[in-house]
Amino acid sequence: MLPRYFSCFSFFIKVYSADSVIWNTTEFISYTCARPAFCSTRPHLEHLQSLLLSNKMAPPSTDGIPSKTIGTQSNEINYQDRHAVRVIVQREANDNIIIIHVKKGNYYKLPGGGVEGDEDYQLAAEREVLEETGCKASIDTKCIGVVEEWRNDLHQTSYCYIGNVTDDSGRPELTEDEVLDGLEHEWAPVQDALQKLKGIKPTSELGIYIQERDTFLLETFLAL
């Protein structure tokens, strides 16, 4: 019998019979069915598809959350959309937080980075903190601020969370580019961290954007 194929977000289902289903990872995003008649006679597969669709990770709600827009959208540019997370990483015992100095471009930033595919935003925040600082952190469920950037051909939306360190015994797992850029994290009292973010003079366009973005997010945190 020829196999019939279905794709549902990050899953690839190869159906040989009604009771034989094999799952493998794929990059498909939309649901397709090569045999519509087969689909219409298999309500349990339609139910499976609806469950998978409901599990797609949506951006956090930004209703009532402080927000900022950096840059201006141009109708002449075809932008690449990117969602990212930023994290205020703190110790519960004091007011120290983590900031990261980037030697290339001479600027400070908050831990964070891009959300991968259908990754949960809080899990993305945990992953980025671990990769950039070596710390494990418990991420609060509430997003505290959002920044929308229009930069060159990038349209980036950053969602900021608070994270409390649960284990700081690890080591950063930086990418090759991050090593070359000279990322190095440090702990600082929150007011000192803000002054470092605002007071440094970036030498790159990227650094200037990040300075404005993360200064706003840290000031939003201090206003809570």
146 shares its domain with 211? yes
135 shares its domain with 45? no
Model pTM score: 0.76
pLDDT single digits (tens) 116-155: 999 999 999 999 999 999 999 999 999 999 999 999 999 9
For 1, 129, 141, 148, 219, the CA distances from 134, given in Å and listed in that order, are: 51, 7, 21, 27, 25
Q: Which two tokens stand for residue 170?
A: 């690890």
Which CATH number does the domain housing residue 198 bear?
Answer: 3.90.79.10
For residues 139 and 162, what is the distance between their CA atoms, to the nearest angstrom?
Answer: 6
**Residues 6+ away with beta carbon under 8 Å from 177:** none
For 4, 14, 192, 197, the CA distances from 49, given in Å and listed in that order, are: 15, 13, 50, 46
Q: 96 lies in a domain?
A: yes
160 shares its domain with 213? yes
15 shares its domain with 104? no
Q: 60 lies in a domain?
A: no
Strand ranges for 58-131 from DSSP E: 67-70, 80-90, 96-102, 107-109, 112-114
120 shares its domain with 155? yes
118 shares its domain with 179? yes
For residue 46, the model assigns a pLDDT of: 52
Report, as an integer, the average pLDDT of 87-109. Answer: 95
211 φ/ψ sector (left φ>0, alpha ψ -120 to 50, else beta): alpha
79 shares its domain with 138? yes
pLDDT single digits (tens) 15-63: 333 333 333 433 333 444 444 444 444 454 454 444 444 445 789 988 9
37 shares its domain with 90? no
For residues 176 and 178, what is the distance between their CA atoms, to the nearest angstrom?
Answer: 5
Q: 198 lies in a domain?
A: yes
Q: 59 lies in a domain?
A: no
Residue 22: give the domain boundaries: 4-54
Q: Which of 91, 87, 115, 85 is nearest to 100 (CA)?
A: 87
For residue 58, the model assigns a pLDDT of: 84
81 shares its domain with 142? yes
Report, as an integer, the average pLDDT of 161-176. Answer: 97
For residue 18, the model assigns a pLDDT of: 38
Of residues 126 and 5, the one with the higher pLDDT is 126
49 shares its domain with 146? no
Q: 62 lies in a domain?
A: no
DSSP state of 206: H
pLDDT single digits (tens) 191-214: 999 999 999 999 999 999 999 999
Q: Which two tokens stand for residue 120?
A: 């949960």
186 shares its domain with 114? yes
Count how many domains the chain has.
2
Handedness of CA 30, 35, 36, 40 (dihedral sign): negative
